Amino acid sequence: MLPHTWDEARALAYALPEALPAHPVPLAEAMGRILLGDLQALNPMPHYASSAMDGWAVAGSPPWIFAQEGRRLVAGQAIPIVTGGLIPAGAKAVLRSESGQVKNDDDGLPVLVLGPESRPGEPKNGQHIRPVAQEAALAEVLIKSGTTLNPAHISLAALGGSDELHVLGKPMVKLVLTGDEVIASGIPEPGAVRDAFSPLLPAVVTLLGGQVVGLERANDTLESVLAALEESPDNPADVLITTGATGNSSADFLRRAIAAMGGTIHINSIAMRPGHPTLLAELPDGRFLVGLPGNPLAAVVALLSVAAPLLAKLGSAPMPDTFEVPCGTPIKEFQGPTRLMPYRLVYGLASPCAHTDSAMMRGLAAADGIMVVPPHGAKMGETLTAFALPWK
Ligand SMILES: Nc1nc2c(c(=O)[nH]1)N[C@H]1C(S)=C(S)[C@@H](COP(=O)(O)OP(=O)(O)OC[C@H]3O[C@@H](n4cnc5c(N)ncnc54)[C@H](O)[C@@H]3O)O[C@H]1N2
Ligand code: MOO
């Protein structure tokens, strides 16, 4: 299979999958999801007239005698009430506790009167009563379709009576990191390498709209890679993202594993540098597999070039944007592939970062974006396609 160009690979990764179906999720899982369909209030908000203050529900003018619990108030009656309490029938206002005093009348019976701290005209009709539907009427739209749900939206949905929300599908992603030489902590011995991916991939996949449901490490054997690629019934994934083992050496088993599983390779390599061994496959159970090369910068470039459009499409999002930058340095012709170069913006011009060999991370850490440099290179000031880093 011939290498795809960078443009073809991106377009294919977006065109191949169908968007995942929308589905209901419990409120606790709705954060960051995209609402499908307007959300209406399932009850008026508030759904009963309630007191906004601690004090007394009153009817008519002072002085007030105390009504019996559960009875309709008539003019001249009051009953104690707390904030949020149900306003009894017949009540016209709430008198704040600071504004009233309970005294005994001539017969020694308790009466409520206005106290010295009461304000002139208090209590006005309806004062300190939160009326039914003050915030929203029954069936009023609370949240518009297409909204990315934040914690306040989710709280609003709960106050509106919802227990779950209908949201667009979101791709579940399992990460599989290969390499016997990879260690997850400490200073590696010569021949071993510190893992670049477990601190990076979960965050970037999340920024790209995926949800990481697992991270597994595989050894450099076919059995180990096959076992890691297997479906996890407890945490089903829509997409597998693997690192390393894309090559053809005796230690690289990804392509053999995909063949053994009966998978179809849609992208076998991409005419780009770094990241040319990147692959995109589909397994017979419908899961997509993005194989990122083991070199750290190559893997990130591959992730942003192939996994980003794939995850966007699965999550019903538009194709990730590209934009244009003026090139800040002449870049020599380079026979062969498109180069993807981390750049920094200096006085509005995009200049390639230092430390951007495919095994490095330093240039990317300092970068403002990645520019797409065609094989013929670029002149100073020439306009180049570029794309953003998801964390910028
Ligand atoms: N004869 C050829 N050799 C290579 C070619 C080629 O075309 N012909 N392509 C090179 C390119 S380009 C890349 S990229 C790599 C792709 O290698 P793999 O995807 O098979 O990855 P590995 O061999 O497993 O590892 C490559 C490199 O990356 C390091 N690595 C792996 N995992 C991690 C990790 N979690 N954290 C940090 N570094 C990692 C690994 O130690 C190797 O140094 O192949 C070239 N070779
Ligand atoms: O993908 Mo490799 O250099 O192109 O690192």
Per-residue pLDDT of 274-332, as tens digits, reads 999 999 999 999 999 999 999 999 999 999 999 999 999 999 999 999 999 999 999 99
Instruction: Tell the residue nearest (CA) to atom 16 of ligand 1.
Output: 293
Cβ count within 10 A of residue 276: 19
Which ligand ends up closest to the CA of 291?
A: 1
Provide the pLDDT for residue 251.
86
Tens digit of each residue's pLDDT (9 = 90 or more) over 236-251: 999 999 999 999 888 8
Provide the pLDDT for residue 388.
97
Atom of ligand 2 at shortest range from CA of 272: 4
What CATH number does domain 6-21+169-314 carry, 3.40.50.1370, 3.40.980.10, 3.40.50.300, 3.30.70.930?
3.40.980.10
> Of the residues 242, 249, 273, 279, which should be mutated to test ligand 2's pocket, given the most ligand atoms within 8 Å of the CB?
273
For the Cβ of 291 lying below 6 angstroms from any atom of ligand 1, the answer is no
In the chain, which residues fall in CATH 2.40.340.10? 323-388
Atom of ligand 2 at shortest range from CA of 294: 5
pTM of the prediction? 0.88
Which ligand ends up closest to the CA of 300?
A: 2
Q: Which residues in the chain land under pLDDT 70?
A: none
Place of tokens 């890679």: 225
Provide the pLDDT for residue 1.
87
In the chain, which residues fall in CATH 3.40.980.10? 6-21+169-314
Whole-number Å distance, alpha carbon 320 to ligand 1 midpoint, is 27
In the chain, which residues fall in CATH 2.170.190.11? 50-130
Provide the pLDDT for residue 341.
98
Provide the pLDDT for residue 162.
98
Whole-number Å distance, alpha carbon 302 to ligand 2 midpoint, is 9
Atom of ligand 2 at shortest range from CA of 359: 5
Atom of ligand 1 at shortest range from CA of 197: 35
State how far Cα 76 lies from the chain centre.
Answer: 56
Which ligand ends up closest to the CA of 175?
A: 1
323-388: CATH architecture: Beta Barrel (2.40)
CATH class of 50-130: mainly beta
> Of the residues 183, 250, 295, which should be mutated to test ligand 1's pocket, given the most ligand atoms within 8 Å of the CB?
295
Provide the pLDDT for residue 59.
98
Provide the pLDDT for residue 68.
94
